[in-house]
């Protein structure tokens, strides 16, 4: 069996699908009612163990309430002061100014209380997530059996769409802030686990042995040798967990009941108050950036304290400054009310002006916006979705698809495949043929047995038997639960986004790798996009292009292009010196060097970038359900809003399955390729 | 078996130590004292069944105040044997006695006590704690013992001075050069004032100049502290400079034990000869190159002329601790030549001492 066989079978299946309808559509009668079973199970759980979860919920309310109380009781000036001290300790004056500006922004546009509500959730969820993550990580570190069990669960927790597990939490723990808290803990402890395991494992054996020889008891060895030696990695985990927690707290506010920043963004988007939503979105982004910089700064801070020549006061100077300063600011705020409660009339919000500007822009450029949208829709999205056979009509392309068109298409594609096969080898030949086939039939119109066959075969070629088996089982799950069509819609949207992101991003990455200037411009943009909560990225696109698949596509591209750029640049900049020098000495031009030496060598790293791009695309797709898409992500969202637990979970699992399959395939390929090239990433 | 059984107590002694790595390494022994009839064949059988024999039937004694050097090719089991001595690695069979007590019978809490007070170890790759500065690294073992901060810093200051790192107390390991890092490692192992000091290739990572300086400092420290030392090295010159006695290992076995001069003079086989081979100075140097001032009456000692080659003096000197009188062409006494001076000369590869000593 080889690829040509697979293509033949695919053609056969396509030809036969009119005769046997089960090929094109999996019969409803055979759909397993997993959704129903899950709902029954959930009902049982709620009615029998509900008291337990409610108890936990009640118990968790307390710390949230008290932190909220404290953050509201403190005047904004005092809180800001504390943050500035933290920023100084973590990094220095620049971060202090940034923090100060961010805090002032929140105050001045009048969203300070909402920001503090969000912050209080983060403040509780992060420590809990870190504790849990550290504990689980330590367990995984000491027992490889435990590790094998933990890792797939982490994969699931990080790939199942957020919306899918909001509902069960809601059903078990009841309405309220606790839902956000638990969801955010579930989502944010996995990075801590991973970093804990990696960090503890990285400690050099000599360091451990020297600890043993210093006479450490096992407990001392762990707490005074192993953990501190791993502290950089652990703090990296803290940073990642914090960011994950923040993004989840924001998303969780979709269920409402909390007057926090996430809720404000959502409701302003729903009310089509775009100026407001952008301004509030910026609050989230600023908050994320400040927290990220502070925790990252703590992680990389080089401790330069010198204990023995310092007095107690010197050693604890930051604590003292923070305490005294806060007290002073607090006292001041009692006298100068502006420092505790910013008066309404002093609030400044350019939201109205922004709305007007937007309206002006949309009215004046309506034609251009519409034509971009139509073009993309008719010539890119529709053909991928339902194929050329469906997309071409007098209404869209201006002519009808005739037999001779098909013949010309077939001949030219086969020629193209043969030519490129001759130039770059048989693999490219097959790739072109497959792409041509998909473009003609359409991702969603491809018969499911053919799709399963192609994917499983690809998995087998890339990663061997186990991967093929896993892929098969995963895809069959999608089939028998009756979600195949929605799954393909998700694949189609993600697929286009990922391909565009990868091509564009890699091009930008290549450019950045040749020019310091470009690189230094691109880097902060990437950083910002990566710390930006997903909600916020959507806002500008919704403003201009309104709700719809095209908007979703743009938002996904904006977010998922980042890893492609990063990895391409990284891969090209970190090639083995010797090879480049050798090629230069052979008299290669810059262009030859790039295409024939650098890119092939950097390809495995770029593939990892593709992998990350797809993962990012899937993450964004879930959020994009809010602006109107039709795939699995929409089912998840519907499950949430209809309270259909089973539907949400099954669709969510479906998305996780797609994500994990793609992840394993690209990783397997990249690893194989690296091994061939003898490189390490 | 050795010529110079010093009239001193044995501090550390290992008897018939075996350590085997491999799929079923525990099938060969179930503890036991490691005494077997035919260790050669047993080791061969182990190797045949895909096991790595890291230590086979290793026995030696380290006396109080002695520097015992272990040499051998890479993979010959040197690190493994010192790790057995410190019980970082559990030997499969054999016995280890520290001050007459069986180390292998110690419970883990007793072991912690021993490591806290009696044993120090220096690692080839330093093993410093990256998150602690120099003084905290050095005071770390004391901190583990719960000694109050003031006292442990005072003690740490003392050893810092010993290794000459004053002024670098607040630096972090990554800010130090390799030589400085190793001094921190040495200072840390000395902070608890151990009786037994294990050093696993402490100077291998250093460049020749610094290595030479570190050797000098090491000898100086030892002349002050008189520890019982096991010292691993790859470098025969280094061994010559510092060893009281030394052992050569191959494939986990000890091939020969003795004073360096014994090894040079009477290598048991070609493997040992290979090690000593690199030092041709004995045929280059003359007796007049190594004369030193006699520190007692010289009546009744043998006499040789100043241009006698050291090679021909070696056997005489190894039998006559007191040395030999070296005379000039005109018959005047230049001084005396002794075994120790000869060794130092071999180690340095150059002449030492004043050329003419008139008595
Ligand atoms: N944990 C282990 N597992 C398996 N084999 C080991 C282990 N530790 C050591 N060995 C093997 O035991 C043998 C002796 O190793 P050892 O580290 O004692 O050598 P060495 O003489 O110190 O070498 P070097 O001079 O390179 O430091 C080597 O063949 C090594 O591969
Ligand atoms: Mg070694």
Three-state SS letters, A144-183 = HHHHHHHHHHHHHHHHCCHHHHHHHHHHHHCCCHHHHHHH
Nearest CA in chain A to B197: A213
Task: Give residue B46 CA to ligand 1 midpoint distance, Å.
Answer: 16
DSSP character string of A306-340: -GGG--HHHHTHHHHHHHHHHHHHHHHHHHSGGGT
Reduced to 3 states (helix: H, G, I; strand: E, B; else coil), residue A272 is coil
Contact predicate B345/B281, CB 8 Å: yes
CA dihedral A465, A469, A474, A478 (to 10 degrees): 120
Candidate ranges A125-134, A179-188, B254-263; pick with highest mean pLDDT: A125-134
Residue A164 reports pLDDT greater than 50: yes
- Residue with CA closest to ligand 1 atom 25: B74
Q: Which domains does chain B have, with CATH numbers?
A: 3-110+245-276 (3.40.50.300), 283-356 (3.90.1280.20)
- Average pLDDT, stretch A370-381? 85
Distance (angstroms) between ligand 2 centre and the Cα of B33 equals 25
Which residues from chain B sit within 8 angstroms of residue A228, using beta carbons? 129, 131-132
pLDDT of residue A321: 84
| Atom 30 of ligand 1: nearest residue by CA position | B75
Identify the residue among A199, A215, A299, A309 best suited for mutation to test binding to B, counting B beta carbons within 10 A and taking the highest.
Answer: A215
Provide the pLDDT for residue A354: 82
Chain B residues within an 8 Å CB radius of A211: 129
- By DSSP bridging, strand B333-337 and strand B324-327 are antiparallel
Buried b (16+ CB within 10 A) or exposed e, A508-537: bbbebbeeeebbeebeeebeebebbbbbbb
Using the Cβ of A220 and the Cβ atoms of chain B, whether some distance falls under 8 Å is answered with yes
Element (H, E) at B20: strand B10-21
Q: Which residues of B touch A209 (CB under 8 A)?
A: 88, 121, 123, 127
Average pLDDT over residues B325-340: 79
Question: Which member of A217, A225, A231 has the closest CB to residue B112?
Answer: A217
Residues 6+ apart with CB under 8 A from A540: A278
Q: What pLDDT, on the 0 to 100 scale, is given for residue A257? A: 65
Residue B60 CA to ligand 2 center (angstroms) comes to 18
Q: Lowest-confidence range among A38-52, A242-256, A446-460, B62-76?
A: A242-256
CA distance linking residue A644 with residue A647, whole number of Å = 6
Q: Is some CB atom of chain B closer than 8 A to the CB atom of A405?
A: no
Other CB atoms closer than 10 Å to residue A626's CB: what's the count?
23
Closest residue CA from atom 22 of ligand 1: B79
Q: What is the pLDDT of residue A554?
A: 93
* pLDDT at res. B255: 92
The pLDDT, as a whole number, for residue B348 is 58
C-alpha to C-alpha distance for A381 and B154, rounded to whole angstroms? 75
Do the Cβ atoms of A213 and B126 come within 8 Å?
no
The yes-or-no verdict on residue A88 having pLDDT over 70 is yes
Does residue B339 have its Cβ closer than 6 Å to ligand 1?
no
Does the pLDDT value for residue B97 go beyond 60? yes
Count of CB atoms situated within 10 Å of the CB of A18:
9
pLDDT band at B43 (very low <50, low <70, confident <90, very high): confident
Using an 8 Å CB-CB cutoff, list chain A residues near B109. 217
- CB B109 less than 6 A from any atom of ligand 1: no
With bands split at pLDDT 50, 70 and 90, how would you rate the model's confidence at B354? very low
Give dist(CA B333, CA B4) in Å, integer: 29
Name the helix (H) or strand (E) containing A611: helix A599-624
- Over range A499-513, report the average pLDDT: 93
In our burial notation (b when 16+ CB lie closer than 10 A, e otherwise), range A132-154 reads bbbebbbbbbeeeeebeebeeeb
**CA torsion A602→A657→A154→A63, rounded to 10°?**
120
What's the CA gap between A561 and A504, in Å, rounded? 8
Cα–Cα distance between A251 and A165 in angstroms, integer?
12
pLDDT for the residue numbered B149? 87
Average pLDDT over residues B43-63: 88
What is the sign, positive or negative, of the torsion defined by CA atoms of A220, A221, A226, A229? positive
* pLDDT above 70 for B281: no
Q: Dump pLDDT digits (tens) for A539-551.
A: 888 888 888 889 9
Nearest to A213 among B119, B125, B172 (CB): B119
pLDDT on residue B196: 92
What gap in Å lies between CA A457 and CA A459, rounded to an integer? 5
Give the per-residue pLDDT at A668.
Answer: 87
Length of chain B: 359
* Percent above pLDDT 90 for chain A: 19
Tell me if residue B198 falls in helix, strand or coil. strand
Structure tokens at A317: 């100077």
Tokens of A336: 């100068």
> Residue B284's pLDDT is what?
53
Give the strands of the sheet with B253-258, arranged side by side: B119-122, B196-200, B228-232, B67-72, B245-250, B253-258
Task: Give the whole-angstrom CA distance, residue A349 versus residue B32.
Answer: 84
What's the whole-number mean pLDDT along residues A568-595? Answer: 79
* Cα–Cα distance, A191 to A359 (Å, whole number): 42
Query: Which chain B residue's Cα is nearest to A224?
Result: B144
B190: nearest CA partner in chain A: A214
Q: What is the pLDDT of residue B283?
A: 55
Distance of alpha carbon B152 from its chain centroid, rounded? 28
* pTM of the predicted structure, to 2 decimals: 0.78
- At residue A171's C-alpha, the angle toward residues A166 and A177, to 5°, is 60
Mean pLDDT to the nearest integer, A69-81: 88
Burial of B65 (0-12, 13-18, 19+ CB in 10 A): middle
Partners of B247 in beta bridges? B70, B257
Give the whole-angstrom CA distance, residue A83 versus residue A61.
25
Answer whether B283 touches A (CB < 8 Å): no
Return the pLDDT at B82.
92
Report how far residue A163's alpha carbon sits from residue A157's, in angstroms, rounded to the nearest whole number: 12
- B265 CB less than 6 Å from ligand 1? no
Q: Is B54 in the pocket of ligand 1 (CB under 6 A)?
A: yes
CA B205/CA B122 separation, integer angstroms: 13
Cβ <8 Å between A229 and B123? no
Closest partner residue to A206 among B86, B123, B144, by Cβ? B123
CA angle, B178 as apex, B174 and B182 as ends, to 5°?
100
Cα torsion for A40, A42, A44, A47, to the nearest 10°? -130
Q: Which residues in B lie closer than 8 A to residue A308 (C-beta atoms)?
A: 135, 153, 169-170
Residues B170-181 have a mean pLDDT of 86
8 Å CB contact of A215 and B121: no
| Backbone region of residue B323 per phi and psi (left: phi > 0; alpha: psi in -120 to 50; beta: other values) | left
- Banded model confidence at residue A167, pLDDT cuts 50, 70, 90: confident
Side-by-side strand order, sheet with B52-63: B52-63, B10-21, B93-98, B101-102
Residues facing B98 on adjacent strands: B12, B101
Residue B2 has pLDDT above 50, yes or no: no
C-alpha span between A419 and A423 (Å, rounded): 6
**Considering chain A, what is the average pLDDT of its residues?**
85
From B170, which residue of chain A is nearest by alpha-carbon distance?
A306
Residue B358 has pLDDT above 60, yes or no: no
With CB atoms and an 8 Å threshold, state whether A213 touches B121.
Answer: yes
ipTM value of the model?
0.76
Contact B203, B222 (CB under 8 A): no
Q: Other CB atoms closer than 10 Å to residue A345's CB: what's the count? A: 6
The answer to whether the Cβ–Cβ distance between B172 and A302 falls below 8 Å is yes
Domains, chain A: 483-677 (1.10.3720.10)
CB-based contacts of A471: which residues, under 8 Å, 6+ apart?
A455, A456, A459, A661, A665
pLDDT class of A220 with cuts at 50, 70, 90: very high
Between chain A and chain B, the number of residue pairs with CB atoms below 8 A apart is 82
Helix runs in chain B, H state only: 39-48, 78-85, 108-117, 134-144, 149-163, 178-191, 208-225, 236-242, 260-265, 270-277, 281-284, 310-319, 339-348
Does residue A681 carry a pLDDT above 60? no
């Amino acid at each position: 069996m080889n690829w040509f066989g697979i293509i033949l079978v695919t053609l056969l299946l396509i030809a036969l699908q009119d005769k046997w309808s089960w090929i094109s559509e999996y019969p409803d009668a055979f759909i397993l009612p997993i959704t129903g079973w899950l709902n029954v199970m959930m009902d049982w759980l709620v009615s029998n163990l509900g008291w337990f979860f409610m108890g936990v919920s009640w118990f968790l309310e307390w710390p949230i309430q008290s932190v909220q109380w404290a953050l509201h009781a403190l005047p904004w000036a005092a809180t800001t002061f504390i943050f500035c001290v933290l920023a100084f300790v973590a990094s220095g004056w620049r971060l202090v100014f940034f923090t100060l500006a961010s805090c002032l922004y929140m105050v001045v546009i009048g969203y300070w209380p909402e920001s503090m509500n969000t912050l209080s959730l983060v403040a509780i969820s992060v420590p809990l997530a870190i504790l849990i993550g550290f504990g689980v990580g330590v367990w995984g570190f000491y027992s490889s059996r435990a590790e094998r069990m933990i890792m797939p669960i982490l994969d699931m927790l990080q790939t199942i769409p957020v919306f899918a597990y909001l509902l069960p939490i809601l059903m078990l723990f009841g309405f309220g802030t606790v839902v956000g808290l638990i969801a955010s803990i579930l989502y944010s402890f996995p990075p801590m686990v991973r970093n804990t395991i990696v960090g503890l494992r990285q400690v050099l054996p000599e360091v451990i042995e020297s600890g043993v020889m210093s006479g450490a008891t096992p407990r001392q060895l762990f707490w005074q040798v192993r953990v501190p030696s791993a502290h950089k990695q652990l703090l990296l985990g803290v940073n990642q967990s914090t960011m994950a927690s923040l993004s989840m707290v924001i998303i969780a506010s979709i269920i409402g009941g909390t007057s926090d920043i996430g809720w404000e963004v959502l409701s302003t988007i729903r009310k089509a108050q775009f100026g407001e939503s952008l301004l509030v979105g910026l609050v989230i982004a600023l908050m994320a950036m400040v927290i990220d910089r502070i925790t990252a700064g703590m992680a990389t801070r080089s401790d330069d304290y010198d204990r023995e020549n310092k007095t107690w006061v010197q050693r604890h100077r930051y604590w003292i400054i923070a305490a005294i300063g806060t007290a002073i600011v607090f006292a001041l705020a009692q006298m100068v009310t502006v420092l505790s409660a910013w008066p309404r009339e002093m609030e400044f919000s350019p939201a109205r002006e922004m709305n007007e500007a937007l309206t002006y822009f949309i009215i004046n450029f309506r034609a251009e916006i519409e034509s971009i949208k139509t073009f993309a829709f008719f010539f890119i999205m529709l053909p991928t979705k339902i194929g050329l056979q469906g997309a071409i009509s007098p209404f869209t392309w201006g002519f009808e698809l005739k037999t001779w068109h098909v013949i010309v298409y077939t001949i030219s594609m086969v020629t193209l495949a043969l030519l490129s096969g001759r130039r770059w080898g048989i693999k490219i030949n097959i790739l072109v043929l497959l792409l041509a086939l998909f473009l003609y039939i359409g991702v969603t119109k491809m018969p499911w047995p053919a799709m399963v066959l192609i994917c499983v075969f690809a998995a087998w070629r890339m990663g061997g038997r186990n991967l093929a088996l896993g892929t098969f089982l995963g895809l069959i799950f999608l089939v028998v639960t009756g979600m195949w069509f929605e799954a393909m819609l998700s694949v189609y949207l993600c697929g286009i986004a990922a391909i565009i992101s990868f091509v564009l991003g890699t091009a930008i990455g290549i450019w950045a790798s040749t020019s310091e200037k470009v690189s230094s411009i691109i880097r902060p943009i990437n950083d910002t996009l990566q710390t930006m909560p997903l909600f916020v990225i959507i806002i500008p696109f919704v403003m201009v292009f309104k709700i719809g698949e095209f908007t979703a596509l743009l938002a996904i591209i904006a977010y998922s292009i980042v890893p492609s750029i990063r990895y391409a640049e990284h891969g090209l900049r970190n090639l083995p010196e010797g090879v480049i020098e050798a090629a230069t000495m052979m008299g290669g031009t810059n262009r030859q060097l790039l295409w024939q030496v650098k890119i092939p060598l950097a390809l495995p790293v770029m593939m990892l970038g593709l992998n990350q791009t797809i993962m990012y695309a899937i993450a964004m797709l879930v959020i994009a359900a809010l602006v109107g898409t039709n795939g699995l992500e929409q089912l998840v969202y519907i499950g949430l809003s209809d309270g259909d637990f089973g539907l949400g979970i099954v669709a969510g699992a479906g998305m996780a399955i797609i994500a994990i399959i793609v992840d394993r395939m690209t990783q397997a390929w990249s690893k194989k390729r690296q091994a061939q090239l003898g490189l390490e990433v | 078996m050795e010529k110079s059984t010093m009239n001193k107590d044995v501090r550390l002694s290992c008897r018939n130590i075996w350590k085997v790595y491999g799929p079923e390494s525990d099938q060969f022994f179930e503890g036991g004292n490691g005494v077997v009839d035919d260790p050669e064949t047993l080791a061969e059988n182990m190797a045949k069944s895909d096991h790595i024999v890291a230590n086979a039937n290793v026995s030696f004694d380290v006396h109080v105040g002695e520097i015992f050097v272990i040499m051998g090719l890479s993979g010959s089991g040197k690190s493994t044997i010192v790790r057995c001595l410190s019980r970082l690695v559990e030997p499969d069979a054999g016995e280890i006695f520290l001050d007459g007590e069986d180390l292998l019978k110690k419970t883990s809490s007793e072991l912690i006590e021993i490591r806290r007070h009696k044993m120090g170890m220096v690692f080839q790759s330093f093993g410093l704690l990256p998150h602690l500065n120099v003084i905290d690294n050095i005071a770390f073992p004391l901190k583990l013992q719960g000694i109050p901060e003031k006292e442990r810093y005072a003690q740490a200051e003392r050893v810092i001075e010993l290794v000459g790192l004053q002024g670098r107390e607040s630096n972090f390991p990554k800010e130090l050069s390799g030589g400085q890092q190793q001094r921190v490692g040495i200072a840390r192992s000395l902070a608890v004032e151990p009786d037994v000091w294990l050093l696993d290739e402490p100077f291998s990572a250093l460049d020749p100049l610094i290595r030479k300086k570190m050797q000098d400092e090491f000898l100086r420290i030892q002349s002050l502290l008189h520890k019982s030392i096991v010292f691993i090295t790859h470098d025969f010159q280094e061994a010559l400079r510092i060893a009281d006695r030394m052992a050569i290992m191959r494939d986990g076995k000890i091939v020969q034990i003795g004073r360096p001069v014994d090894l040079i003079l009477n290598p048991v086989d070609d493997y040992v000869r290979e090690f000593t081979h690199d030092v041709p100075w004995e045929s280059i140097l003359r007796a007049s190159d190594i004369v030193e001032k006699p520190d007692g009456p010289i009546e009744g000692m043998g006499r040789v002329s100043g241009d006698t080659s050291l090679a021909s003096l070696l056997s005489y000197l190894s039998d006559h601790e007191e040395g030999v009188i070296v005379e000039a062409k005109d018959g005047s006494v230049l001084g005396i030549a002794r075994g120790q001076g000869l060794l130092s000369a071999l180690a340095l590869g150059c002449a030492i001492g004043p050329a003419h000593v008139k008595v």
